[in-house]
Amino acid sequence: MRIVDHREVLAALAAGAQVVDVLPAREYRVAHLRGAVHLPLPRVMAGAGAALDPQRPCVVYCRDAL
């Protein structure tokens, strides 16, 4: 995993990357990117295999305060 800037995120999304939101459920309901897969941070490793396509890259995001 590495930190990317907004240009890299836009390019990845244009190429078909999956978007993963690791926010807590309450925050996800209030503010998430359209089409994002919700995998709260405590469950991201356990749930990724069932929720994500291993053939596609992923963009994972969370709030800035973490």
Domain layout of the chain by residue ranges: 18-61
Q: Which of 31, 58, 30 shows the shortest CA–CA distance to 44?
A: 58
Cα separation, 16 vs 30, whole angstroms:
25
pLDDT tens for 4-61 read 888 998 898 899 999 999 888 898 888 888 888 898 877 877 777 888 898 998 888 8
Please tell me the pTM assigned to this model: 0.74
Cα gap 30→14, rounded to integer Å: 25
State the residue for tokens 């994972």.
60
Cα–Cα dist 17/55, whole Å: 10
Position 52, amino acid: L
The reported pLDDT for the residue numbered 66 is 44
Query: Rounded to an integer, what distance in angstroms lies between the CA atom of residue 5 and that of residue 38?
Result: 21
